[in-house]
Amino acid sequence: MRTAQLTRTTKETDIRLTLSLEGGGVEIHTGIGFFDHMLTAFAFYGGLGLEVYAKGDLEVDGHHTVEDVGIVLGQAMKEALGDRKGIRRFASAFIPMDEALCVTALDFSNRPFLALDAEMPQSRIGAYDACLTEEFLRAFAVNSGLTLHMKCLYGKNAHHITEALFKSLGAAVREAVQITGTGVTSTKGVL
């Protein structure tokens, strides 16, 4: 089974997370409604089983909670992928959300990198600071060993742009983690 169960406790956050690449239930509780909605969309379109229980210093703001969930989710993804033998590895997805169109291209290369080009027309989405999307994506990419390129081609609504980014990430992850062979998908022989 390609699963992982992790906890991470700091002075700023306390996170419990369970991930299954084979699917399952989705239960997200971070204290930030819009972020819960985005993680649910990511898991649904990623075909993932995902449980996240996070308690953070929301009296400060959402930054620590969002970034630390990205760290733990990335670590869980890395653990669940194991030696990465047989995975498709590369994938991409275009996702429209009303007036917004976003694309994700990724590679589970074990060489973390984030290239994000997505201007947010509004700075807040409910209680969520739109700039936190980049913090989450960077933490997830670095901790999972993911080369991640994401772009909003156009859009006028920060909610729609962010949702299209999370959905396209999920759709691409779903394809990239599929087992399509028996060996490592690399001319080097390792990832």
The span from the CA of 84 to the CA of 179, in Å, is: 9
Spell out the per-residue pLDDT of the chain, length 191, in tens.
Answer: 899 999 999 999 999 999 999 999 999 999 999 999 999 999 999 999 999 999 999 999 999 999 999 999 999 999 999 999 999 999 999 999 999 999 999 999 999 999 999 999 999 999 999 999 999 999 999 999 999 999 999 999 999 999 999 999 999 999 999 999 988 878 787 78
Beta bridge partners of 87: 179
Q: Which fold has domain 3-176?
A: Ribosomal Protein S5; domain 2 (3.30.230)
Q: Where are the domains of the chain?
A: 3-176
Side-chain-side CA neighbours of 127 within 13 Å: the count stands at 15
Kindly give the pairing relationship between strand 49-56 and strand 90-97: unpaired
The span from the CA of 81 to the CA of 13, in Å, is: 25
Q: Which residue has the tokens 């210093």?
A: 57
Kindly give the pairing relationship between strand 100-107 and strand 90-97: antiparallel
Q: Which helix (H) or strand (E) holds 46?
A: helix 33-46
